[in-house]
Chains A and B, each alone.
Chain A
Amino acid sequence: MKKGIFKVLSNTKLCEKVYRMELLGDCSDITASGQFVNIALDGLYLRRPISVCDVNGEVLTIIYKVVGKGTEFMSGLNAGAVLDVLTGLGNGYNLDKCGEHNLLIGGGVGVPPLYLLAKKLKAMNKRVSVVLGFNTAKECFYLDEFKAVADEVIVTTVDGSLGVKGFVTDGMMKVMGYDCFYTCGPEPMLKAVYNATEVSGQFSFEERMGCGFGACMGCSCKTKYGNKRICKDGPVLEKEEIIW
């Protein structure tokens, strides 16, 4: 973990309520995809945990959805704004356990962390298929970015306005021969993914956090391997340890 001062380079609306922010600062503690940063915001007591979408040298990219006071405040920040950010939080996705053909499954704002993961897997010369699930075509983002990186991208929308009609599990059925998967999204989606495949994989969970670095025990969960803190021992858990 590192505490650093980051400068906002850009803050762009991708679609309704979803923004991409690029930040300049010391990213040296961000060692894995699936990690998150915790951002201090003026007038709000707790930091806001946001997953890492991409890192290029000193440029950190995050994608967030406006869901409350914190993200609303963030959406109003302009280039040049300065933020106090804790980086290198969480375990992130484990690439040692990746397969030859990896399926990445993201839902809504669970999509962003899979982008850096896809890049890392491609750098390892692994096959990458991606299923991205959204409610409707208007809420889709980052499709072209994923298409530029992954071998195969399948989009699902609940209303059928783009791609496969249905849920990510409907998209998963169209991918053949994967031997490992990684997923991030709302808990009902994670559970559906868990039940939709026999293959082993890694799940990134979300929980209301206090500190984000393991001190307060605010975000604990029970696993088959004992109690874990989502922020420090997670947010990525292996399929085999999850207790629903």
Chain B
Amino acid sequence: MVDMSVNLCGLTLDNPIIPASGTFGFGYEFAEIYDINILGSISLKGTTKEARFGNPTPRIAECSEGLINSVGLQNPGIDKVIDVEIPKLLQFYKKPVVANISGFSLEEYVYCCEKADKIDAVGIIEVNVSCPNVHGGGLSFGTSEKSVYEVTKAVKAVCKKPVFIKLSPNVTDISAIAKACEEGGADGISLINTLLGMRIDLRRRKPVIANKMGGFSGRAIFPVAVRMVYQVYEAVKIPIMGIGGVATAEDVIEMMLAGATAVQVGAENLVNPYACKDIIEKLPEAMEAYGIKDLKEIIGGAH
């Protein structure tokens, strides 16, 4: 028997597999096809203060081994998430979940995180700092050490539960950004969010996506994610949730060797709705193949 459990800021997860925000809705719809209680946890759809429709369609463009999305944080708003979506999920899922929070101002982050922190089912708050700061000229919060530090500090002041900051890879120095989160009091780092990308339709001679640009994810970005997790592991002491292109049990092991304590599976859920289940079922075999008895022991093992 192998031990797949990991400890994330005091929470014991049965295994490190967590569907990534935006690729699993609020989870309950996947309960129609398999028992989602096998998951280590679930990172819920990104939630904002107000309900959002998101960006115009088309929002999706295919790439080699990946896709670009420009959904634009469509969600029913924090109140409906708490009153409707989370209770629906709790009918099927009995473990702590990760609440993924987005905001367009410091106040919005604080408002939503404070509300999410009070929900029993929420085990971890994951703050998405890839959104544009409306008071900061539209630049993403996640691209400056100063604004990331400010968001972290402000959110930490209102949260009792562990706060993970989910970082954008579209920066020059990911280690410096991660350090700023740690200095701001973050309990952990999630990375990477999507890479900014574009596809152009040759017939129309225009970008495929209505919003022109979007976030590139899928298997193609796995090496970028592994590299950034590796770098951040060297830069900070707080735990990391590794995200980006994970599609197999071997990818999970690789991501953990780079430094991840837990591993999120994103785009793969969209092409194989059973992706997380398949990975969890194949993980023991993959661990045995690489002589791993306890998954916890390999975290950062590549350093």
A219/B273 contact (C-beta < 8 A), A1-B32, A214-B25 known: no
Query: Are A215 and B24 in contact, CB atoms less than 8 angstroms apart?
Result: yes
1/0 contact string of A202-237 vs chain B (CB within 8 Å): 000001111101111111111000010000100000
CA distance A2 to B69 in the complex (A): 25
Query: Are A214 and B57 in contact, CB atoms less than 8 angstroms apart?
Result: no
Query: Are A45 and B67 in contact, CB atoms less than 8 angstroms apart?
Result: yes
Chain B residue with Cβ nearest A214: B29
Query: Does A5 touch B at the CB level, under 8 Å?
Result: no
Query: Does B128 touch A at the CB level, under 8 Å?
Result: no
- Chain B positions within 8 Å of A211 at CB level: 269-271, 273
Chain A binder among B7-15, B58-66, B231-239: B58-66
CA distance A222 to B29 in the complex (A): 21
Q: Which residues of A contact B (CB under 8 A)?
A: 1-3, 40, 44-47, 86, 207-211, 213-222, 227, 232
A3/B273 contact (C-beta < 8 A), A45-B66, A45-B67 known: yes
CA distance A40 to B272 in the complex (A): 9
A210/B60 contact (C-beta < 8 A), A47-B271, A215-B269, A215-B270 known: yes
A46 touches which of B32, B45, B67 (Cβ 8 Å): B67
Q: Is the interface of B mostly helix, strand, loop or mixed?
A: loop
- Chain A positions within 8 Å of B24 at CB level: 215
Can you list 29 A-B pairs with a CB-CB distance of less than 8 A? A1-B32, A1-B273, A3-B273, A40-B271, A45-B65, A45-B218, A46-B270, A47-B271, A208-B58, A208-B59, A208-B208, A210-B69, A210-B270, A211-B269, A211-B273, A214-B25, A215-B25, A215-B269, A215-B270, A216-B60, A216-B69, A217-B25, A218-B58, A218-B59, A218-B69, A219-B59, A220-B57, A220-B59, A220-B74
Can you add 8 more A-B contacts, CB < 8 Å, to A208-B58, A216-B71?
Answer: A3-B273, A44-B62, A46-B62, A218-B59, A219-B57, A220-B54, A220-B57, A222-B53
User: Chain B: how many interface residues by the 8 Å CB criterion?
Assistant: 34
Query: Are B270 and A216 in contact, CB atoms less than 8 angstroms apart?
Result: yes
Q: Which of A47, A219, A220 is packed against the most chain B CB atoms within 10 Å?
A: A220
- Chain A positions within 8 Å of B273 at CB level: 1, 3, 86, 211, 213, 215
CA distance A209 to B270 in the complex (A): 10
Q: Which of B58, B63, B71, B271 is packed against the most chain A CB atoms within 10 Å?
A: B271
CA distance A46 to B271 in the complex (A): 6
Query: Are A216 and B23 in contact, CB atoms less than 8 angstroms apart?
Result: yes
Query: Does B33 touch A at the CB level, under 8 Å?
Result: yes
The 10 closest A-B pairs by CB, nearest first: A211-B270, A218-B60, A208-B58, A210-B60, A217-B74, A46-B62, A217-B71, A218-B59, A216-B270, A208-B60
1/0 contact string of B22-38 vs chain A (CB within 8 Å): 11110001101100000
- Chain B positions within 8 Å of A209 at CB level: 60
Smallest CB separation, A174 vs chain B (Å): 35
